[in-house]
């Protein structure tokens, strides 16, 4: 399977312009024969545009999510649209199972090649360090995995990388590729590299970490989107400018690595 990480520039609060960038990136990826495209965290509003969260939020049947579904269908690709601000009350009103009947969530959605919504993940670990996320958003409660092109794709978001137990739970659920839409800022470059690579190594799985490349009033995203293989080797990576990171991932590689180095079999829960 060929996958692409769309490392996007983001304009704070300008959903229309940001969607246009995403659409151009997905079109480029599709032209290159990509099967799955991963978008960054809150690429629609900009992670640090906290004043825009409530104004731009919507239910899963809202126009922004709908536009992303159409984008997947128009280009015939799988799309991990990570992420947008979800209005949980609006989603619940249309029959969607939500962790609360009110509030907002940092939500990524997996759309299949025909635009069907296959999986929904609401960020579990909300960032409290110099961030308004914990005040503005409701954390998710459930894991999300989707079968696609021979992989079981797990979804996490940005700050989740610091909590390895979440990734082990996804491994227990059968995840062989974990996607991590992110908005990771300077100066924590080594944290970004080390944590994503560690999650791949300790779970013997692919990790696709898609970061943004944007400057906000108080922060600059560091880019460096990377696809790691089950050994923790970087298959493709970027600097800090907007770009498309493309790599080949093979489901058979997971089985081969886990057979050669069966660390997961030696695990003891206590």
Strands (E), 49-131: 78-87, 104-111, 117-122
Which entry of 56, 86, 133, 158 is annotated as an active-site residue? 158
Can you point out the beta strands (E) in the chain? 2-7, 36-38, 78-87, 104-111, 117-122, 145-148, 151-155, 177-181, 206-210, 226-228, 234-237, 243-248
Token pair, residue 53, equals 């969260």
Instruction: Report strand pairing: 206-210 vs 177-181.
Output: parallel
List the catalytic residue out of 108, 123, 133, 179: 123
By CB neighbour count within 10 A (0-12 exposed, 13-18 middle, 19+ buried), where does 13 fall? middle
From the list 41, 56, 86, 133, the catalytic residue is 41
Does the annotation mark 2 as catalytic?
Answer: no
* Angstrom distance (rounded) from CA 199 to CA 64: 31
How far is 143 from 46, CA to CA, in rounded Å? Answer: 24
108 is catalytic: no
- The DSSP 8-state label assigned to residue 44 in this structure reads T
Could you give the residue numbers annotated as active site?
41, 123, 158
């Amino acid at each position: 399977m060929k996958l692409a990480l769309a490392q996007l520039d983001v304009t704070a609060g300008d959903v229309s312009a940001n969607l246009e960038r995403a659409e151009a990136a997905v079109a480029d990826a599709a032209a290159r024969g990509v099967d799955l495209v991963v978008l960054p965290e809150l690429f629609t509003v900009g992670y640090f545009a906290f004043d825009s969260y409530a104004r731009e939020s919507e239910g899963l049947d809202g126009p922004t999510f709908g536009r992303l579904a159409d984008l997947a269908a128009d280009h015939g690709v799988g799309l991990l649209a990570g992420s947008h601000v979800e209005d949980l009350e609006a989603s619940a009103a249309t029959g969607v199972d939500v962790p609360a009947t009110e509030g907002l969530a940092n939500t990524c959605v997996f759309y299949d090649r025909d635009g069907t919504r296959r999986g929904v993940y609401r960020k579990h670990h909300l960032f409290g360090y110099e961030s308004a996320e914990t005040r503005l958003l409701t954390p998710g409660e459930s894991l999300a995995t989707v079968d696609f092109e021979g992989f079981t794709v797990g979804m996490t978001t940005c700050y989740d990388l610091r909590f390895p137990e979440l990734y082990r739970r996804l491994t227990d659920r059968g995840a062989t590729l974990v996607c991590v839409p992110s908005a990771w800022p300077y100066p924590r470059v080594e944290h970004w590299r080390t944590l994503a690579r560690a999650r791949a190594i300790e779970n013997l799985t692919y990790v696709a970490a898609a970061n943004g490349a944007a400057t906000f009033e108080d922060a600059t995203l560091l880019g460096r989107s990377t696809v790691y293989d089950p050994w923790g080797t970087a298959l493709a990576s970027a600097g800090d400018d907007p770009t498309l990171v493309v790599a080949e991932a093979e489901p058979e590689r997971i089985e081969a690595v886990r057979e050669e180095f069966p660390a997961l079999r030696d695990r003891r829960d206590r």
